[in-house]
Chains A and B, each alone.
Chain A
Amino acid sequence: DIQMTQSPSSLSASVGDRVTITCRASQSIITYLNWYQQKPGKAPKLLIYAASSLQSGVPSRFSGSGSGTDFTLTISSLQPEDFATYYCQQSYSTPPITFGQGTRLGIK
């Protein structure tokens, strides 16, 4: 199974900051990497698929990059509604579908 590791596990930032979250796969997954945002008490929401494609309706301040084993999610200018937990997920070798452990983005 492909293991997904996110870093950091948590971080604090301020409104307007540029934030980057990293996801590393245990083997190459080409660009089969997806990002989700989850707010407390809510279901995860797809943000980015195929490493860099923005899901419809997602603000352009979110972007994704990477290939192979190393990927990043960047929020260019944090907004109050962006404080949430973010998960990466690989879709290269399934089953199983595997997620990273999550990165909790809090307010500084």
Chain B
Amino acid sequence: QVQLQESGPGLVKPSETLSLTCTVSSGSISNYYWSWIRQPPGKGLEWIGYIYYSGSTNYSPSLKSRVTISVDTSKNQFSLKLSSVTAADTAVYYCARVYSAYDKFLDYWGQGTLVTVSS
């Protein structure tokens, strides 16, 4: 079955750019949407955005000005960049597969990676 694994720095300084990569294994990245979701410590889930394998994207309105999601089909990976981070961006970041274009629920998730924003 499909497996997802997040990777990237666990500590980012304020005002810098958070960068994470999600590697998809046991399945192709093609023909699906792929999403990033985050969860601040002790809080609920917040959708960040998603990308189609072809490269088209949609972002959360509250984060749109700071977020870029990209895809590399040759590596079966997609990535998240979040610029100008503050302590409020400290969270566990999850990548997930979107089931289909017609019903966007999340059927496979990565284990999550904690990113702390601190100097």
B50 touches A97 (CB 8 A): yes
A1–B109 Cα distance when bound, in Å, is 24
Number of residues on chain B facing chain A (CB within 8 A): 23
A43–B5 Cα distance when bound, in Å, is 11
Q: Is A12 an interface residue (CB 8 A)?
A: no
Q: Is B58 an interface residue (CB 8 A)?
A: yes
A86–B109 Cα distance when bound, in Å, is 15
A39–B56 Cα distance when bound, in Å, is 32
Report A54-108 residues with CB < 8 Å from chain B CB: 55, 87, 89, 91, 94-102
Q: Is B47 an interface residue (CB 8 A)?
A: yes
Q: Is B70 an interface residue (CB 8 A)?
A: no
Mark B99-114 against chain A: 1 for CB-CB distance below 8 A, else 0.
Answer: 1000111110111100
Number of residues on chain A facing chain B (CB within 8 A): 24
Number of A-B contacts (CB under 8 A): 62
B103 touches A97 (CB 8 A): no
A46 touches B44 (CB 8 A): no
Provide the residues of chain B in CB contact with A1, threshold 8 Å. 61
Provide the residues of chain B in CB contact with A99, threshold 8 Å. 44-47
Q: Is B59 an interface residue (CB 8 A)?
A: yes
Q: Is B94 an interface residue (CB 8 A)?
A: yes
Provide the residues of chain A in CB contact with B111, threshold 8 Å. 42-43
CB distance from B45 to the nearest CB of A (A): 5
A46 touches B105 (CB 8 A): yes
**Using a CB–CB distance below 8 Å, which chain B residues touch chain A?**
35, 37, 44-47, 49-50, 58-61, 94, 99, 103-107, 109-112
**Using a CB–CB distance below 8 Å, which chain A residues touch chain B?**
1, 32, 34, 36, 42-46, 49-50, 55, 87, 89, 91, 94-102
